[in-house]
């Protein structure tokens, strides 16, 4: 039977990737048969060589649907089912933690490298979907920015949405970050996580966990999350945790989203950081205006050449960075400068916070403090320091930690829309004749005049111009503008600390 060959391929894959040992084969086959609701199996004699995991799982989902085991043949239900299959082959948490710690004792980067591959081998990170993401680099006045159009998050299908409405309210797991996701079977409105394993870490003497993002916006994109479901908070303890983490994992950066709406991340209810093994454009950006903070002359500090408002602190002593960062934060929380349109609060609502990023560089600790403000006005109802309406055809969503550092995460709709813009520009067509390109018409017509556009170069030109739009997005999100007046106002704040 075809299903027997698919089962054998999946078990072969688990052995070859080290998820199971050869002596586990019979147990693994029977575990898969239970999930597939099959009660017999004939071991095929063929040897299959390298296994295409996505193809094998797709074949098993097709078979399960044909036999009525898989109720619906949509991506949500298929994901629930194939994750259940992979969960049968994923080692228990104690083994994963033990392996990680053994490797960490010799080399932290070896431990994270193994764990990252493991998260892909279990299909928690779906390699086949990540490969579909569009990625390119764009040269801007702030260096090369990273652009990605994320295509790896599956779209919700109508049947799953309808089914979710009929589900009783559930508070388990409380959110998609909670430790209780590890091994959870999922439901139509919550992803399956039987193949998910987290690693315990201690930062600032408190229990946290390390995992990878299933959507991987950059190399080794990790999430570090509090063992307790507690809200995000930027404070002195946050700075200590960030610097403690990079002392334990010096090859990683780590940062936190801000703790206020609009300028914060998508999950404010659960305290967490994001990090990884990647160098963003903001890290490469130099300090262009050195500053000195009174009482902290031993800490190298300055304003970074970046479209957002960034104070960089450097020292061999992490404690000194914590002390100064806390002082900057407390000052910024209550700081107003009407001439620069910065208000600490309006009608009792606080507006000022910080997006912090920590790293090690040349043996020193480094902390970037990105000043944020979430005030809204009638003219800018989504935020004054947020992409303005004229850029919404490219980026309307919040500017979180990843964007702050120089990586644009753009919506999936742009894959088709930008391709059509390029095609229409190359053919001399009318951008306003198609609703998919109409929203981009003013922008595209403006830049097209500066190029000789052909079918061969059209898309690369469009991609270059998207990068320049993203640089504008970051400029809009900067509380101090890169003008003489903005720089003077920025220095007024640093002098006040």
Each residue's pLDDT tens digit, 191-210: 999 999 999 999 999 999 99
Q: Let me know: does 260 contact 353? Beta carbons within 8 Å.
A: yes
Q: Is residue 215's pLDDT more than 70?
A: yes
| pTM for the structure as a whole | 0.94
Give the long-range contacts of residues 420-428, CB within 8 A, separation 24 or more: 421/462, 422/458, 422/459, 422/461, 422/462, 423/455, 423/458, 425/453, 425/458, 425/461, 425/462, 426/453, 426/454, 426/455, 426/458, 427/455
Mean of pLDDT values over 164-189: 88
Q: pLDDT grade, residue 234 (50/70/90)?
A: very high
Lowest mean pLDDT among 22-26, 56-60, 258-262: 258-262
- CB–CB of 284/239 below 8 Å? no
For 213, the token pair is 């993002």
């Amino acid at each position: 039977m075809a299903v027997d060959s698919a089962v054998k391929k999946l078990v072969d894959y688990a052995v070859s990737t080290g998820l199971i040992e050869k002596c586990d084969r019979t147990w693994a086959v029977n575990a898969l048969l239970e999930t597939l609701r099959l009660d017999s199996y004939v071991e095929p004699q063929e040897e299959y060589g390298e296994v295409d995991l996505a193809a094998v799982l797709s074949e098993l989902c097709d078979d399960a649907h044909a036999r009525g085991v898989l109720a619906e043949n949509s991506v949500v239900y298929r994901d629930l089912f194939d994750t259940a299959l992979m969960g049968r082959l994923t080692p228990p948490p104690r083994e994963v933690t033990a392996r990680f710690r053994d490797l960490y004792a010799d080399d932290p980067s070896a431990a994270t490298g193994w764990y990252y591959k493991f998260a892909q081998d279990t299909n928690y990170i779906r390699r086949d979907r990540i490969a579909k993401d569009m990625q390119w680099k764009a040269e801007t006045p702030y260096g090369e920015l990273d652009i990605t159009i994320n295509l790896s998050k599956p779209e919700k299908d109508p049947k799953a949405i309808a089914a979710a409405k009929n589900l009783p309210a559930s508070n388990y797991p409380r959110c998609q970050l909670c430790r209780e996701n590890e091994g959870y079977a999922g439901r139509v409105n919550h992803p399956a996580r039987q193949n998910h394993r987290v690693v315990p870490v201690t930062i600032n003497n408190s229990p946290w966990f390390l995992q990878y993002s299933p959507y991987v916006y950059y190399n080794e994109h990790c999430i570090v999350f509090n063992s307790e479901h507690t809200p995000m908070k930027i404070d002195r303890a946050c700075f200590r945790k960030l610097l403690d983490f990079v002392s334990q994992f010096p090859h990683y950066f780590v940062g936190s989203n801000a703790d206020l709406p609009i300028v914060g991340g998508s999950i404010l209810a659960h305290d967490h950081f994001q990090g990884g093994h990647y160098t963003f454009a903001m890290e490469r950006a130099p300090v262009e205006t050195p500053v000195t903070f009174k009482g902290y002359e031993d800490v190298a500090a300055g304003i970074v050449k970046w479209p957002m408002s960034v104070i960089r602190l450097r020292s061999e002593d992490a404690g000194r960075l914590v002390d100064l960062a806390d002082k900057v934060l407390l000052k910024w929380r209550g700081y107003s400068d009407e001439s620069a349109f910065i208000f600490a609060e309006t009608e009792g609502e606080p507006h000022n916070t910080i997006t912090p990023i920590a790293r090690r560089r040349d043996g020193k600790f480094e902390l970037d403090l990105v000043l944020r403000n979430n005030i809204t006005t009638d003219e800018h109802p989504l935020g004054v320091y947020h992409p303005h309406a004229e850029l919404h055809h490219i980026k309307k969503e919040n500017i979180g930690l990843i964007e702050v550092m120089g990586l644009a995460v753009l919506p999936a709709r742009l894959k088709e829309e930008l391709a059509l813009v390029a095609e229409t520009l190359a053919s001399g067509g009318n951008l306003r004749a198609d609703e998919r390109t109409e929203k981009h018409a003013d922008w595209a017509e403006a830049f097209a005049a500066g190029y000789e556009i052909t079918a061969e170069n059209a898309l690369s030109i469009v991609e270059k111009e998207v990068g320049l739009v993203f640089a504008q997005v970051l400029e809009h999100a900067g509380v101090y503008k890169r003008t003489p007046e903005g720089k003077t106002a920025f220095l007024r704040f640093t002098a006040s600390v």
